A = this chain, B = another copy of it.
Amino acid sequence: MKKSALQKARAAYQPKLPIALTGPVKAVAGKPTQSVANQEEIKALFPSTYGLPEIRFEKNSAPTPGKPINVGVILSGGQAPGGHNVISGLFDGVKKIHRDSRLFGFVMGPGGLVDHKYIELTAPIIDEYRNTGGFDIIGSGRTKLETKDQFDKGLEILRELDIKALVIIGGDDSNTNAAVLAEYYKANNCGVQVIGCPKTIDGDLKNELIETSFGFDTATKVYSEMIGNIERDCNSAKKYWHFIKLMGRSASHIALECALQTQPNVCIVSEEVEAKNMTLQQVVDGIADTVAARAAEGNNFGTVLIPEGLIEFIPAVKALIAELNDLLAAKGDEFAAVEPDAQRQWVIDHLSAEHASTYASLPAGVARQLTLDRDPHGNVQVSLIETEKLLSEMVGKRLADMKAEGKYVGKFSAQHHFFGYEGRCADPSNFDADYCYALGFNAACLINAGVTGYMSSVRNLVKPAVQWLAGGIPITMMMNMERRHGEMKPVIQKALVQLDGAPFRKFAEQRADWALNTCYVYPGPIQYFGPTEVCDQPSLTLQYEHKGK
Contacts and interface: CB of A to CB of B under 8 A. Distances in A.
Interface residues of A, number: 61
A289 to B, nearest CB: 24
A309 interface: no
A7 B422 CA distance: 23
A281 interface: no
Contacts of A537: 5
Given A226-B422, A529-B529, A236 B134 contact: yes
B134 A7 contact: no
Contact of A5 (B233, B529, B534): B534
A164 to B, nearest CB: 27
A140 interface: yes
A134 B423 contact: no
Contacts of A529: 527, 529-531, 534
A202 to B, nearest CB: 15
- Nearest 9 A-B pairs (CB), nearest first? A529-B530, A525-B525, A232-B425, A134-B232, A135-B236, A6-B524, A233-B425, A4-B523, A136-B236
A471 B140 CA distance: 55
Interface string A227-267: 01110111111100010000000000000000001010000
A527 B4 contact: no
A4 to B, nearest CB: 5
A524 B4 contact: yes
A521 B263 contact: no
Contact of A233 (B79, B132, B228, B237): B79
11 contacts: A4-B521, A8-B533, A9-B531, A132-B232, A134-B233, A233-B421, A242-B421, A415-B421, A427-B524, A527-B528, A529-B534
A236 B134 CA distance: 6
Interface string A106-150: 001000000000000000000000001111100110000000000
A16 interface: no
Given A4-B523, A132-B522, A133-B522, 10 more contacts: A4-B228, A5-B534, A9-B530, A9-B534, A78-B237, A140-B236, A222-B525, A225-B525, A230-B422, A233-B424
A65 interface: no
A547 interface: no
Given A229-B425, A527-B529, A235 B3 contact: no
A230 B519 CA distance: 30
Interface string A296-314: 0000000000000000000
Interface string A504-525: 0000000000000001011111
Q: Please state the number of chain copies in the assembly.
A: 2
A515 to B, nearest CB: 16
A208 interface: no
Residue from the set A237, A341, A531, A534 with the largest chain B CB neighbour count within 10 Å: A237
A192 interface: no
B232 A533 contact: no
A410 to B, nearest CB: 16
Contacts of A136: 232, 235-236
A237 B140 CA distance: 6
A112 to B, nearest CB: 13
A489 interface: no
A2 interface: yes
A524 B537 CA distance: 19
A10 interface: yes
A143 to B, nearest CB: 13
Contacts of A222: 229, 525
Contact of A9 (B228, B263, B522, B533): B533
Contact of A232 (B3, B133, B417): B133
A233 B3 CA distance: 16
Given A139-B236, A232-B133, A6 B523 contact: yes
Contact of A139 (B78, B238, B533): B238
A378 to B, nearest CB: 21
A495 interface: no
Contacts of A228: 4
A426 interface: yes
Contacts of A523: 4-6
B533 A530 contact: no
A424 to B, nearest CB: 5
A278 interface: no
A526 interface: yes
